[in-house]
Structure 1
Amino acid sequence: MPNPALLVIVRHAESARNQVKKDSVYFADDAARRVLRGQPDHKIELTDDGHQQAEQTGHAVRERFGVFDHVYTSGYTRTIQTTEGILAAYPKEERDRMPVDMNIFIRERDSGYAYDMTEDEATAAFPWLAEYWQTFGGFMARPPGGESLADVVSRIQQFLDMLDRDRAGKRILVVTHGQAIRCFRFALEQWDYQQAEKWPPGQAPANCGVTVYEAVRDRLELAEYNTVHWTVGSSEDGVSS
């Protein structure tokens, strides 16, 4: 079998940045930004609700899928904490059978220089950005100093190639980010550029949303998308990381 037998992808639970920014690309104002200003993306932690989301998701994941052969996180604090919450549902002897590795290829999209900006600041700093974005679209356009989604697909594909080479026939759990999940879908489901421009209404991945791919003949096929198993909190944005 040239693919993993099962690939379960979970978006991280609610992070402090999700809580503050909601579904906005930028901070609403300086007061909102002040809570997190200066914290790099890879160090953003989960909220209290986020920890509970991860733990509740873990019970459902164990009941549905059992033990995985390998678990991957992006290495960001929020994916590590989400993974710890999920794996807390497993007895120690089962956890010990599931190696957990960080893989930099499944990190979140780099949002560039506007990471800590308000919308007014971004407009003043990059007055050409709206027209550029409209011209090239949300898949090809790069935020200043950051990555396009097309860039992210390139490294997601490298991760998938590694799974095909090293984890064929295995059961894999991946804990990653909202924008990365769009790129997984582009690569695995052979989306065209138009499909990848933006999430259809109601399709943005929820915090701890569970997406499942199963091996069918010579490829992984989508079996389930964005199932939520938690009942605490309300963050479901797929724009902020």
Structure 2
Amino acid sequence: MTPRWPSTLWVVRHGQSAGNVARDKATAEGLARIALTSRDVDVPLSALGREQAQALGRWFASWHEEQRPEIMLASPYVRAVETAQIFRQAGGCPGDEKICLDERLREKEFGVLDGLTVAGIHEFQPDQAEFRKLLGKFYHRPPGGESWTDVIFRLRALMDTVSLHYGGRRVMIVAHQVVVLCLRYVIENLTEAEILAIDKQGDVANCAITEYKFDPAAGRDGGLVLSRYNVTAPMDEDDTPVTTEPDQMVAARG
């Protein structure tokens, strides 16, 4: 009988983006807004982000073919697509492997907080800053944006698709920091307190690996079990700098 879940599931955050760099610059200069002229969906990788994606691909390329990803899923945001493409070009998966884009893996939408630094949120959206403090980051939904629970809702649907189509396969997902965390919440059946405690430990590094293995002894019908989280070995071994900046819209973290 075909297993319900992939034999291995990797969840990877995209490489450092131009948005990460712009956010750092705006914060360091005490600015209210992040200097980007494109939509968040169109923000590309930085030069370092491309190096990180190459290091990730080379690391997987050193494995036996039957250990590498055979299914590639990615957020449609440019920085995630570029990470997946560079990973494939570097030999991390078969060169003819199609990268399947799924909008359910997109970045958390920030609505009226889009493009603001922490200082900018307090300057232009003080009511939302107070409301978020009251509700907490897990449930707070800025006008026109999403809460973590909104992201979780779409990721539950995604995991149903993964279960339906990719049982017994080796699957890699390339997405965003909040997606990595929210997938942990879904797969591991965590509580709000548990996922926020994980989040508080620090940002998910760019191109870091979170890995699950199928364990037939987990639960009644077997399940995915976490084997490693936020691992930066590909960059460490390649002497590529590791970056852990929050994603461009700083409201992703608190």
TM-score, L = length of structure 2: 0.84
Question: Aligned pair in 2 of structure 1 residues 81, 216: CA closer, same or farther (>3 Å)?
Answer: same
- Count of paired positions: 236
SS of residue in 1 equivalent to 2:9 = strand
CA shift for structure 1 position 60: 1.0
* Structure 1 contact 71–101 (Cα < 8 Å) conserved: yes
Q: 1:25 to 1:8 in 2, by over 3 A?
A: farther
Root-mean-square deviation (Å)? 2.5
1:37-186 superposed matches below 5 A: 38-64=37-63, 66=65, 67-90=68-91, 94-96=94-96, 98-186=97-185
Q: Which amino acid aligns with 2:50?
A: H
Deviation at residue 201 of structure 1 after TM alignment: 4.6
Find the residue that maps to 1:157 and give its secondary structure.
Answer: helix
Question: What secondary structure, in the 3-state scheme, does the structure 2 residue paired with 1:212 have?
Answer: strand
Q: Distance in 1 between matches of 2:157 and 2:192?
A: 19
Given that 2:115 and 2:248 are in contact with CA atoms closer than 8 Å, whether structure 1 keeps it comes out as: no
User: Is the contact between residue 139 and residue 149 of structure 1 (CA under 8 Å) also seen in structure 2?
Assistant: yes
* 1:155 CA displacement: 0.6
| Residues 27 and 119, structure 1, Cα contact 8 Å, conserved in 2 | no
Q: Secondary structure at the match of 1:215?
A: strand
Aligned to 1:225: 229
Alignment gaps of 5+ in structure 2: 217-221, 250-254
Shift, 1:161, TM fit: 0.5
In the alignment, the residues of structure 1 paired with residue 158 and residue 62 of structure 2 have an alpha-carbon distance, to the nearest angstrom, of 27
Shift of 1:189: 1.0
CA apart distance, 1:65? 6.6
Structure 1 vs Structure 2: percent identity of aligned residues? 24
Q: Measure how far apart 1:174 and its partner are.
A: 0.7
Q: Is the CA contact (8 Å cut-off) linking 1:137 and 1:197 kept in structure 2? A: no
Structure 2 counterpart SS, 1:33: coil
Contact (CA 8 Å) 1:26, 1:119: kept in 2 or not? no
Instruction: Kindly provide the CA deviation profile for residues 165-202 of structure 1, in whole angstroms up to 9, marking residues without a partner as x.
Output: 11111110111000111110100111101123364454
**1:19 and 1:235 in contact (8 A); partners too:** no
Note the C-alpha offset of 1:120: 4.3
Residues 120 and 134 from structure 1, CA distance in 2 versus in 1: closer, same or farther, beyond 3 angstroms? closer
Letter in structure 2 aligned against 1:5: S
Stretch moving more, 224-233 or 62-71 = 62-71
State the SS of the aligned residue for 1:182.
Answer: helix
Q: 1:141 to 1:201 in 2, by over 3 A?
A: closer
Higher relative contact order (CA 8 A, sep 6+): 1
Counterpart Cα distance in 1 of 2:26 and 2:247? 7
Match of 2:23 in 1: 21
TM-score (norm 1): 0.89
Shift of 1:26: 11
Q: CA deviation at 1:113?
A: 1.5
Q: Does 1:236 align with 2:235?
A: no
